[in-house]
């Protein structure tokens, strides 16, 4: 058992018979009344973010969560298949557990988050940025910024469409942010 003084961002706790990670917290000591901790909690299974207030010193149960490195192998009708990088053990994961499944490509290393007590897979976390090759995009025309945004759609090697600047051409390698699937930068060759 732990208390609210052990709160930190990223801590996984058991709350309302489910697992939540602490996204943000703030200790508040008002002039009148007892101290409390205001938190934003993200449900590990659904991804929903809720606000909750704990009284200072409230007892909580910390969930043991492990992050294990796995290499993505392939996708089929069963799901996405991964292999542990140290034990070579293979497992299959449903698409709903992956935040951005269209940013996965073969041999990419991802972290699989596992509840250590019952070995249940909670989620698959991709690296913050991935490098992808642009397989199709229209050529950018110089001065074509009348719409106010100087970007165009580009299809990357996994089939996802990303909006990129006009200077990006077919065959270029770009970095894509896995949190929101947006263009970050062009990779120099």
Identify whether residues 72 and 58 lie together within a single domain: no
Q: What is the CATH number of the domain that holds 47?
A: 2.30.30.30
Last residue of a domain, one of 32, 62, 92: 62
Write down the mean pLDDT value for the chain: 89
Identify whether residues 26 and 58 lie together within a single domain: yes
Task: Check whether 21 has a pLDDT greater than 80.
Answer: yes
Identify whether residues 121 and 139 lie together within a single domain: no
Last residue of a domain, one of 125, 140, 164: 125
Identify whether residues 36 and 78 lie together within a single domain: no
Q: How many domains does the chain have?
A: 3
Identify whether residues 150 and 110 lie together within a single domain: no
Task: Check whether 144 has a pLDDT greater than 70.
Answer: no
Q: What is the pLDDT of residue 130?
A: 93
Confidence of residue 118 (pLDDT cuts 50, 70, 90): confident
**Residues 6+ away with beta carbon under 8 Å from 167:** 140, 186
Q: What is the CATH number of the domain that holds 165?
A: 2.40.50.140
Q: What is the pLDDT of residues 28-58, one digit of tens each?
A: 999 888 999 999 999 887 778 999 999 998 9
Confidence of residue 10 (pLDDT cuts 50, 70, 90): confident
23: alpha, beta or left? (left if phi > 0; alpha if psi -120 to 50): alpha
Last residue of a domain, one of 39, 62, 85: 62
Confidence of residue 189 (pLDDT cuts 50, 70, 90): confident
Host domain of residue 140? 129-186
Closest CA to 10 of 103, 125, 95, 91: 125
């Amino acid at each position: 058992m732990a208390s609210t003084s052990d709160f930190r961002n990223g801590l996984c706790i058991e709350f309302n018979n489910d697992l939540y990670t602490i996204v943000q917290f703030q200790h508040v000591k008002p002039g009148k009344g007892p101290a409390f901790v205001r938190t934003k909690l993200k449900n590990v299974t659904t991804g929903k973010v809720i606000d909750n207030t704990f009284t200072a010193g409230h007892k909580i149960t910390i969930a043991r969560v492990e992050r294990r490195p796995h290499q993505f192998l392939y996708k089929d009708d069963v799901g996405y298949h991964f292999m542990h990088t140290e034990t070579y053990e293979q497992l299959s994961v449903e698409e709903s557990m992956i935040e951005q499944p269209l940013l996965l490509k073969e041999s990419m290393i991802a972290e699989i988050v596992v509840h250590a007590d019952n070995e249940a897979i909670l989620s698959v976390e991709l690296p913050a940025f991935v490098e992808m090759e642009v397989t199709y995009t229209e050529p950018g025309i110089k001065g074509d910024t009348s719409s106010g945004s100087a970007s165009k759609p580009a299809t990357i090697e996994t089939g996802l469409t990303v909006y990129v600047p006009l200077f990006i051409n077919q065959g270029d390698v770009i970095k894509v942010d896995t949190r929101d699937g947006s263009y970050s930068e062009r990779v120099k060759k």
